[in-house]
Amino acid sequence: METFLVAILLMFAAQEKEPPKQKVEYGKRVYVGGAVEMEVLPYCTCTECCGDDPNSKAGKTATGKDAKKYVDGVIADPRLLPYGMRLFIPNVGERVVDDTGSRAKAAGDKGQYRIAFRVKTHDEVLAIRKRIGGDSTKMTVILIEEVIEKK
Ligand SMILES: [Zn+2]
């Protein structure tokens, strides 16, 4: 009985958390979906970015993708942003959740969204950090529900 009540309360909580919908134009496309404020940062597969994580050393994401080959991926807490979910990140573009990490999960424990998008080289990481003025930045990310091609 109690578990049942908790389940109902959680359902209500989840519904209230439903993010407001937004439309964002980027190039020839319009992305439509829930808008969520997140801490966003770039990373590559080097040891400075990924440390000694055995998965990263093998160059594999949590979903088994070759991290060096597929640079369209994002590290997230899959409890908040499930694997396979497509995200639109301003100034970055369309990405897909395909990996997770301890820092993303630590933020998720506090109900905060922290994502890291993959780039090819550490030089790119450094260039982006310079542009955003730090290791990470807060921005509004779209949880893509629909993509409209502009004419
Ligand atoms: Zn790196």
Confidence band, pLDDT 50/70/90 cuts, at residue 104: very high
Beta-sheet strands, E only, within the chain: 21-26, 29-43, 73-75, 86-89, 93-99, 114-118, 137-149
pTM of the model: 0.84
pLDDT in tens, 58-95: 788 999 999 888 889 999 999 999 999 999 999 999 99
Q: Transcribe 49-62 into DSSP letters.
A: HHTT-HHHHTTB-T
How many angstroms separate the alpha carbon of residue 27 from the centre of ligand 1? 28
- Interacting residues of 133 by C-beta distance below 8 A, sequence separation 6+: none
CA distance linking residue 109 with residue 21, whole number of Å: 24
How many angstroms separate the alpha carbon of residue 120 from the centre of ligand 1? 9
How many angstroms separate the alpha carbon of residue 25 from the centre of ligand 1? 29
How many angstroms separate the alpha carbon of residue 97 from the centre of ligand 1? 18
Confidence band, pLDDT 50/70/90 cuts, at residue 12: low
Q: Transcribe 6-18 into DSSP letters.
A: HHHHHHHHHHHHP
**Share of residues in the chain with pLDDT > 90 (%):** 71
